[in-house]
């Protein structure tokens, strides 16, 4: 899997736009996704300077959704859980 591939993977074609950011089926965040693809080839400019692009996710529940990068909450980096749900057996 290459999240930065210039070509969209086949699984992205059925993606639905998720608002707010997260799986529309189970509510999982991007960190729960099994696959990720970022459409950075086609950024959209907002406010003249900011760029955003589509981020596609295939959730662990097999739903495929996308959202704008600008809608992603900035908490993927700090490791804190943004979801209440704890899942046993998440380790390898
Ligand atoms: Zn899901």
pLDDT 10s digits, 16-37: 999 999 999 999 999 999 999 9
The pLDDT value given to residue 64? 98
Centroid of ligand 1 to alpha carbon of 24 (angstroms): 7
Q: Decide: 55 and 36 in contact? Cβ < 8 Å.
A: yes
Burial of 7 (0-12, 13-18, 19+ CB in 10 A): exposed
Q: Rounded to an integer, what distance in angstroms lies between the CA atom of residue 5 and that of residue 1? A: 8
Phi, psi of 9 (to 5 degrees): -65, 155
Centroid of ligand 1 to alpha carbon of 26 (angstroms): 4
- From start to end of 1-86, where are the E strands? 16-17, 35-46, 50-58, 64-68
Give the pTM: 0.75
Centroid of ligand 1 to alpha carbon of 12 (angstroms): 14
């Amino acid at each position: 899997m290459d999240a930065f591939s210039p070509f969209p993977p086949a699984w992205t074609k059925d993606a639905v736009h998720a608002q707010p950011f997260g799986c529309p089926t189970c509510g999982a965040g991007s960190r729960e996704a099994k696959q990720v693809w970022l459409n950075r080839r086609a950024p959209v400019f907002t406010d003249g300077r900011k760029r955003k692009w589509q981020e596609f996710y295939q959730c662990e529940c097999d739903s495929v959704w996308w959202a704008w990068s600008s809608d992603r909450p900035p908490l993927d980096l700090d490791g804190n859980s943004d979801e209440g749900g704890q899942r046993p057996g998440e380790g390898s």
